[in-house]
Amino acid sequence: MRPGIDRLLLLLAVVMTVVGCESEFTPRPRGYMNLELQPHSYAPFDTTCPFAFEMSAQARATYDPAHAQQPCWFSIEYPRHRAKVHISYARLNGNLATYLEDVRTLTNKHISKASGIQEQVIMLPERHMYGMRFDVGGTTAASPIQFFITDSATHFMRGALYFNAVPNNDSLAPVIQHISEDIDHLISTFRWKD
């Protein structure tokens, strides 16, 4: 009786091998994680700096000890998305043109990886706020959003969004859009203290 079982098992193995080889292997494209973005909510952010604004309740302000000499240099960190909006502030002393040139230089560093840079003017004279927002297009641009706000006489604040990940703005697009809305809210609620 044993030889019949052996033949049956051999026949079953041959049939499974033949059937298994008939289907073609189809490689799957690399997938991206499904991001669940929280609804927007904001909280006032006020420090000893000469400005205040509302920032995302899902973010936190972090200070880099390397910039201890510059207390108004900090990051708005989104730990869940490994993203930071770096904020730097300078008091103007007749040197607005120098800071504007720095903004252009830092933004233009992304031109080689960008498909385009869209500029949006920020002009709120009743609040002494002037500036510009730069949306850097392209899938490998390191900083997809940059902006600055100034009163053109005393204060200058700059911000730039960076991710602690290899730039692939196709997969980061939902997060970039979400943080972009937070940056718009930051700008709309921004105010100088003096």
What the block records as the tokens of 108 is 């233009």
> Could you say which of 3.40.50.10540, 3.40.50.1820, 3.40.1000.10, 3.40.50.300 is the CATH number of the domain covering 42-192?
3.40.1000.10
Locate the DSSP E strands across the chain.
Answer: 42-46, 51-56, 60-62, 74-78, 83-91, 116-124, 129-137, 145-150, 155-163, 191-192
Structural domain boundaries in the chain = 42-192
CA distance 147 to 74: 15
Residues β-bridged to residue 79: none
pLDDT of residue 112: 61
pLDDT digits (tens, 9 = 90+) for 152-185: 999 999 999 999 877 666 678 889 999 999 999 9
pLDDT digits (tens, 9 = 90+) for 64-119: 888 778 889 999 999 988 999 999 999 999 999 999 999 988 887 766 666 678 89
DSSP string, 76-106: EEEGGGTEEEEEEEEE-SS-HHHHHHHHHHH
pLDDT of residue 14: 77
Residues β-bridged to residue 43: 55
For the entire predicted model, the pTM comes to 0.78
